[in-house]
Amino acid sequence: MKENDSCVCPACKEKSIARKYRANDDFLAPEYRLRCALCGADLGKIDAPQSAETTSGNATQKLAALLGGESIEKVEIDPGDHFRHGCRNCKNFIAHPFKAICALSGAETDPMADCEKFIFREEKK
Ligand SMILES: [Zn+2]
């Protein structure tokens, strides 16, 4: 059950609304629960809100249905290895907060630069 959902209260058996209230006085970890708007009986925990991905996914599906179209597939864009060819993805690139250094020449380098000695760095997992 979520905040402001209508329900039949198990305590007073009336059609009521679930109101959010703070169940503890812990300043650092407040716990919010639901209670009957009429009699104040505890109605349990608040359901976790849907994740943004599911919500947006549903919204996309609803929009597609509204417009009478097919469901929309998520598109993955991969520009390919050529796009990643640059000092920032090179094995010899040393990233430092103040300057980026090339391990081969020892000189400062530009992450967006490119050179003939480029070697792909293995992806961190
Ligand atoms: Zn009640």
pLDDT at 1: 87
C-alpha of residue 6 to centroid of ligand 1, in Å: 11
Q: From first to last of its 125 residues, what are the pLDDT tens digits of the chain?
A: 889 999 999 999 999 999 999 999 888 888 999 999 999 999 999 887 766 555 666 777 777 777 877 666 778 888 777 777 888 888 999 988 888 899 988 889 888 888 888 888 887 65
Give, as residue ranges, everything with CB less than 5 Å from ion ligand 1: 9, 11-12, 36, 38-39, 41
pLDDT at 97: 86
Strand pairing report for 42-45 and 6-8 = unpaired
Fold of domain 80-125: Ubiquitin Ligase Nedd4; Chain: W; (2.20.70)
Q: Name the CA radius of gyration of the chain, rounded.
A: 28
In the chain, list all ranges with CATH 2.20.70: 80-125
**In this structure, are residues 81 and 52 in contact, taking their beta carbons and an 8 Å threshold?**
no
C-alpha of residue 80 to centroid of ligand 1, in Å: 61
pLDDT at 72: 65
Please identify which residue in the block is written with the tokens 């469901």.
71
C-alpha of residue 18 to centroid of ligand 1, in Å: 9
C-alpha of residue 21 to centroid of ligand 1, in Å: 14
Q: How far is CA 25 from the centre of its chain?
A: 30
